Amino acid sequence: MKSSVVILLKTIIRIACLCPFGLLVLGALTPSGLGPDPTAHIELTTGYTTLMLLTIGLGITPVRRLIPQLSWMIKFRRMLGLFAFFYATVHMLAYVALYANFDVQQMLDDIAKRRFITMGVLAWLLLLPLALTSTNWAIRKLGGKQWNRLHKLVYVAACCGVIHYWWQVKTGVWLPLPFTIAVVALLLARPVTAWWQRRKVRTATAV
Ligand code: HEM
């Protein structure tokens, strides 16, 4: 793919990823722009966007394996991951400021006693080393193999994010289900598409 097209697509994706944040800022600047419960609105938007971006990012590897013509999608994975971390951080900071009012004792109590908060913090902590090692320098320093191994943590983080979502919705609410199906399918897709790719290579070399 031409580098000018990649730059254009990157700009479009960057703008799309910034839209939820931009809408939140705009809402905060207009009277009742964030609805009757601004705190819940901010948590919903940022939490949902984090999961959405993580899920899309996880989908890139299986899609590349199944459709080699779409291999260029890999160029956008790092950006999606960094935006996911950005929204997870805004989501966590919104909790620190709006739910816990910067009360360290309350935060520690929440982490110890409210399992959905514990799971959310775990998800964020798993994303942290991935964001810190997203630079070309870190990839060189760690070496491709180590880096790839470390970045598999994104699957664990996505699972923690989904569990965190289930643990905070009321009984009978099924909103986390689509994400659960998507993340489980993508987890299973990894070995299946790897097998498919190996099979294609074997068939090609046999001919
Ligand atoms: C990868 C990390 C995370 C993901 C993907 C995530 C995702 C979500 C999602 C989807 C929601 C549901 C929003 C709704 O429907 O109202 C939510 C709610 C929430 N999350 Fe997270 N979250 C993450 C990390 C965290 C962290 C680190 C904290 C706090 C330390 C946190 C605190 C909360 C709170 C307080 C709510 C609102 C619960 C309520 O309205 O009762 N989350 N999160």
List the structure tokens of 96: 């620190």
| Dist. CA 194–CA 137, nearest whole Å | 28
CA–CA separation, 7 and 10 (whole Å): 5
State the closest ligand 1 atom to the C-alpha of 40, by its place in the atom list counted from 1.
40
Helices (H), 95-114: 104-113
Instruction: Choose one of 104, 168, 169 to mutate for the ligand 1 pocket test, by most ligand atoms within 8 angstroms of C-beta.
Output: 168
Q: What is the pLDDT along the chain (207 residues), one digit of tens a residue?
A: 788 999 999 999 999 999 999 999 999 999 999 999 999 999 999 999 999 999 999 999 999 988 989 999 999 999 999 999 999 999 999 999 999 999 999 999 999 999 999 999 999 999 999 999 999 999 999 999 999 999 999 999 999 999 999 999 999 999 999 999 999 999 999 889 889 888 888 888 887
Q: Spell out the alpha helix ranges (H) of the chain.
A: 3-29, 38-66, 77-94, 104-113, 115-132, 136-142, 144-151, 153-168, 177-206
Residue pair 56/15 in contact (Cβ under 8 Å)? The answer is no
For residue 56, what is the enclosing H or E element?
Answer: helix 38-66
Specify the residue with its C-alpha closest to ligand 1, atom 13: 44
**Residue 57 CA, ligand 1 centroid: distance in Å:** 19
Instruction: Single out the residue of 137, 1, 131 nearest to residue 74, CA to CA.
Output: 1
**Cα(24)–Cα(26) distance, integer angstroms:** 5
Entry field: residues in the chain: 207
- The phi, psi pair for 143, rounded to 5°, reads 85, 145
- Element spanning 69, H or E: none
Pair of tokens at residue 32:
């009742």
Sort 21 into a burial class: Cβ within 10 Å, 0-12 / 13-18 / 19+. middle
Q: Which residues line ligand 1 (CB under 6 A)?
A: 40, 43-44, 47-48, 50-51, 88, 91-92, 95, 99, 117, 120-121, 123-124, 127, 157, 161, 164-165, 168
How many angstroms separate the CA atoms of 48 and 175, rounded? 10
Q: Whose CA is nearest to atom 25 of ligand 1?
A: 120
